[in-house]
DNA sequence: GCATCTATGTTATGTTGTAACACACATAGC
DNA sequence: GCTATGTGTGTTACAACATAACATAGATGC
C-alpha cells in the first residue's frame, strides 16, 4: 500500500494540501481558494479538482456535515481504514479517529444485506471535553 | 416518549412531510419546493423551515452526503435510536437501519473522550443487492 | 510526428441554504 | 377587552457550495 508521502502531487494539489495541513482543521473549498489567491488561484474549480485527487489519495477527508475538508491526521501513515470524526459545535475542533470495531460491524451488516460497500461516512456532532469543561 | 403521529403538524409541515412520504425516497429541499408550488409554496424558506421542525421531531432525516431529506421509515413508531443509511449509488435507493451496537460503540468512545455527543451521522455508500445482481 | 492522457485556466451557471423584515394568529396575563 | 409574547408564515434578496463547458499546455508512448 502506498503511503501518503509517496503520492507525487501536482503544484495545485500541493498548494491545497499545504493549506489544509497548515490550517490544522477543516476548511471549506472557498476558504482554501481565498488563501491561495496570492498563489494565483482564481476559480473554485482549481480547488475542487485538487481536492478530488487528494480525497482519492486518502490524504484529505471530506466532512459531509460541514461541507468542508480536512487533512488526514495520519501524516505519513501507510494508509488506514475508514475514518470517523468528532466535531465540536462550540469551538469547531475536529478530531479524527479510526473505529475499526464500528466499521467491522457496519461491514458485517452490509455483507448480510448483499450491499457492496464503497465508502463509509461517520460524523459525530457534540461538544468536546474542553468546551464542556469551560461552559 | 412521543410517537411521530402525536406531533400536530402545521399546514406547511404536513405538506412537506406528505411529499417525502409519498416520494418513498430522498428529496432535496428544492425538489420538494417544486412539488409544492401547486400548493402555494413560493420560496425555499417555506420548505427549509418545515424540514427543520420535522427533523427536530425525528420524522424526517437529513442525508448529509446527498444534501437531501427522507421520511423516517418507522412510520408510526414510538421513537428510536440513531439511524444509519445505506445509499445505493446506482439506483439511488436509500435503506434506513438502526445499528444499535454501532451506536453503542461510538457512544463508548465519546464517553471515554469526554465528548458530549449530540447527533450521529452514519451513511454508507455503495451498490445495493439488486444493482449488484443486475450488473 | 502524432495520439492520448492528465493537469490547468477561465467564464458562466447551477444548486443549496440563509438573512432580514413584515405580517398573521394563538394564547397567557392583566 | 387588550396587550405581550411566541410561533408560524410570506417575500425579497443574497450568500455559500459545486459543476458544465470549452480552451490551452505539458508529458508519455507509439
- pLDDT tens digits along A4-21: 556 789 999 999 999 999
**Whether the domain at A1-79 and the domain at A81-135 fall into the same CATH topology:** no
Structural contact between residues A96 and A83, judged by C-beta atoms closer than 8 angstroms: yes
Average pLDDT over residues B66-86: 84
User: Is A88 in CB contact (< 8 Å) with chain B?
Assistant: yes
Give me the interface pTM, i.e. the ipTM: 0.92
Helices then strands, each counted (H, E), chain A = 5, 5
What local confidence, expressed as pLDDT, does residue B76 receive?
A: 57
Cβ of B55 near strand C (under 7 Å)? The reply is no
Strand D footprint nucleotides (protein C-beta < 7 Å): 8-13, 16-21
Average pLDDT over residues A72-90: 82
Q: Which three cell numbers stand for residue B57?
A: 421531531
Q: Quick one: residue B77, left, alpha or beta (phi over 0 = left, psi -120 to 50 = alpha)?
A: beta
Q: For residue B115, what is the nearest residue in chain A, using CA coordinates?
A: A128
Separation between Cα atoms, residue A24 and residue A70, nearest integer Å:
8
Q: Is A52 on the interface with B (CB under 8 A)?
A: no
> What pLDDT score does B3 carry?
43
**Minimum-distance CB partner of A126 among B65, B88, B117:** B117
Percent of chain B's residues with pLDDT above 70: 92
A89/chain B closest Cα distance in angstroms:
9
CA angle A25, A29, A32 (to 5 degrees): 65
Q: So what's the pLDDT on residue B13? A: 97
Could you tell me which of A39, A18, A29 has the C-alpha nearest to residue A63?
A29
Write down the pLDDT at residue B5: 53
B30 touches strand C (CB under 7 A): yes
Q: B86, A115: Cβ pair inside 8 Å?
A: yes
- Closest to A58 measured CA to CA, from A81, A37, A87: A81
Domain definitions of chain A by residue range: 1-79, 81-135
Which nucleotide is the nearest neighbour of B50, by CA and C1'? D8
Least confident window among A48-52, A79-83, A99-103, B2-6: B2-6
Interface test with B, best of A121, A123, A127 (most B CBs within 10 A): A121
Q: What is the mean pLDDT of residues B73-100?
A: 87
| CATH architecture of structural domain A81-135 | 2-Layer Sandwich (3.30)
Evaluate if residue A95 carries a pLDDT over 70. yes
Nearest-nucleotide field for B66 (CA, C1') = C16
Rounded alpha-carbon distances, angstroms, from residue A38 to A10, A17, A32, A35: 18, 16, 11, 7
pLDDT at residue A73 above 80?
Answer: yes
Question: What residues in A contact B122, CB-CB < 8 Å?
Answer: 106, 120-122
Range A1-79 classified under CATH 1.20.120.330: no
Q: Is CATH 3.20.20.70 the classification given to domain B4-127?
A: no
Query: What is the rounded average pLDDT for all residues in chain A?
Result: 92
Contact yes or no for B115 and A128 at CB 8 A: yes
Q: Which nucleotide is nearest to B43 (CA to C1')?
A: D11
Per-residue confidence at B1, pLDDT binned at 50, 70, 90? very low
Amino acid at each position: 500500500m502506498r503511503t501518503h508521502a509517496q503520492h507525487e502531487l501536482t503544484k495545485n494539489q500541493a498548494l491545497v494540501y499545504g493549506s489544509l495541513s497548515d490550517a490544522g482543521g477543516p476548511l471549506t473549498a472557498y476558504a482554501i481558494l481565498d488563501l491561495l489567491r496570492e498563489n494565483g488561484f482564481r476559480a473554485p474549480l482549481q480547488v475542487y479538482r485538487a481536492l478530488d485527487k487528494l480525497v482519492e489519495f486518502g490524504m484529505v477527508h471530506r466532512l459531509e456535515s460541514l461541507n468542508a475538508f480536512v487533512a488526514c491526521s495520519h501524516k505519513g501513515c501507510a494508509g488506514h481504514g475508514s475514518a470517523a470524526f468528532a466535531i465540536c459545535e462550540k469551538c469547531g475542533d475536529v478530531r479524527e479517529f479510526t473505529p475499526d470495531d464500528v466499521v467491522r460491524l457496519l461491514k458485517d451488516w452490509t455483507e448480510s444485506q448483499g450491499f457492496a460497500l464503497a465508502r463509509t461516512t461517520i460524523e459525530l456532532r457534540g461538544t468536546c471535553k474542553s468546551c464542556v469543561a469551560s461552559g
